[in-house]
Amino acid sequence: MRPINHLRPFVVSLFLATVVPCATVATLERARAAEGGKQQPTPLDSDTVELRAAANEVFQAIPALVPTVKDNPVTREKVELGRMLWFEWRLSASGVISCNSCHSLAAGGSDNVETSIGHGWQKRPRNAPTVFNAVFNAAQFWDGRAEDLRSQARGPIQAAVEMASTPEYVIGVLSSIPEYRQRFATAFPGEPDAVTFENVTRALEDFEATLITPAARFDQFLEGNLTVLTIEEKRGLRLFMETGCAGCHNGINLGGQAYFPFGVVERPGSDVLPPEDKGRFAVTKTASDEYVFRAVPLRNVALTAPYFHSGKVWSLEQAVAIMGTAQLGKELTPQETGEIAAFLRTLTGEAPHIELPVLPPSAARTPHPQAVLRVPTSPGGAPEAPGLR
């Protein structure tokens, strides 16, 4: 098995989020002290140097190299297999839905609709999170119920409102196609029967680990390019830290590390926070976890509208304003929301260049897809077994 030479594993240390805002006046004062004794640049440059020092205490740049994956070494063979499986619509019961259907690599790693459409034209209850940089999250899904990308991959394939498949059906499809049997054997050498559902998820995990977006303008700023941000963007960055946004949205992904109530100070209306979706409570069954969600990662947020788990907000400025009142108890002015949104748009990185794979043809014994023309319903008229993201 050949290691990925051009994507050598890179150990990434995650910055753990805390409830306390991570960039305060004290942080900025430490930055000023660190600059003491050095030749002072112009006042504008001094402010920029100070801002960069403060930002580097709170955030981390996306690395250019693929990070390591726990208990699943990233290899060229697994990544190539995972790329094929990512676009493989035959894994779904209907034969029309793939991973890329809801997490389009051409659309910021999401699908830019309120909630995705799944098996039998069923509408999902939550907005599809971006897959870009998901490898850096502490857990997956809005409620954090999957501990890693491998666990996450199992869910949508089997969810009745997504791909509506089963492990047995997936293995039946893949094992019936000679090229897939060969690719699994190459990617997982030494296994007597490499075409397993576990290996499907391991290949998908390794492929998803490569979907990172380095070189955002904000990353360039963190790494020392002091002229890459505009005055408005730098004001937005300072506001983002000093108003408390960075208390939840920090580290390498500006979020994705910890859980917080949606409505720390003031709960949003039911149009943004549907009362029937109680977030992490569905996972833990703990009363204090009602309406608690994982802090959304803000990388590439300009590409992933609409916003929030309900997908009800299409404007980035409006989303910033809602978070100000709901989480911080602050009525941000239009100028402040505009400046913060301007900063958030600097988080758009370089998308990975993914070549669309040519998938092998079905064989005579490949299972046929199921034609689904309407949503199966329970006696009460509701869709059966609604899943969550």
Instruction: Count the helix, strand and coil residues of the chain and give each as a percent rounded to the nearest 5.
Output: 40, 5, 55
- In terms of Cα–Cα distance, which of 204, 229, 232 is closest to 219? 229
What are 173's two structure tokens? 């499809």
Candidates 50, 88, 162, 317; catalytic one: 162
Distance CA 307, CA 267 (A): 16
Q: Which long-range contacts (CB under 8 A, 24 or more apart) does 357-360 make?
A: 357/83, 357/84, 357/87, 359/84, 359/87, 359/88, 360/177, 360/178, 360/179, 360/180
3-state secondary structure of 140: strand
CB 351 within 8 A of CB 302: no
Measured CA to CA, the distance from residue 142 to residue 127 in angstroms comes to: 9
Return d(Cα 244, Cα 237) in angstroms, integer: 11
Cα separation of the two ends of the chain: 34
Specify whether 266 is catalytic: no
In whole angstroms, give the CA distance from residue 54 to residue 59: 9
Residue 287 is which amino acid?
A: A
Nearest CA to 207 out of 196, 199, 215 is that of 199
- How far is it between the farthest Cα atoms of the chain? 76
CA dist 109 and 303 (Å) reads: 9
Residues 347 and 220: beta-carbon distance below 8 Å: no
Judge contact between 292 and 280, C-beta under 8 A.
yes
Catalytic residues: 162
